[in-house]
Amino acid sequence: MDRDDEEDRMSAERHLRAVPDARPDAAGSESGAATAPGPAPDLTDLLERTARGDGGAYEQLYNAVAASVFGLALRIVRDRGMAEDVSQEALVEVWHRAARFDREAGTARSWILTIAHRRAVDRVRSEQSHTTRMRTHGVREETAPAEQDLVVDVMYREWEATRVKAGLSALTARQREALDLTYFKGYTHREAAQALDIPLGTAKARIRDGLIKLRDAMGVER
Give me the DSSP letters along 82-127. HHHHHHHHHHHHHHHHGGG--TTTS-HHHHHHHHHHHHHHHHHHHH
Give me the DSSP letters along 165-202. HHHHTTS-HHHHHHHIIIIIS---HHHHHHHHTS-HHH
Nearest 5°: the CA angle 155, 170, 215 is 60
Nearest 5°: the CA angle 206, 184, 204 is 20
H/E stretch holding 141 reads helix 108-141
Domain 3-141 classified CATH 1.10.1740.10?
yes
Closest CA relative to residue 22, chosen from 88, 56, 67, 85 = 67
Highest-confidence segment of 51-60, 173-182, 184-193: 51-60
Q: Does pLDDT of 219 surpass 70? A: no
pLDDT of 22 reads 39
- Work out the number of other CB atoms within 10 angstroms of the CB of residue 73: 30
- CATH fold label, 145-218: Arc Repressor Mutant, subunit A (1.10.10)
pLDDT of 86 reads 93
Q: Where are the domains of the chain?
A: 3-141, 145-218
pLDDT classification of 21: cutoffs 50, 70, 90 = very low
Write down the pTM of the prediction. 0.47
The tens digit of pLDDT for each residue in 165-186 reads 667 777 888 888 887 787 667 7
pLDDT of 114 reads 92
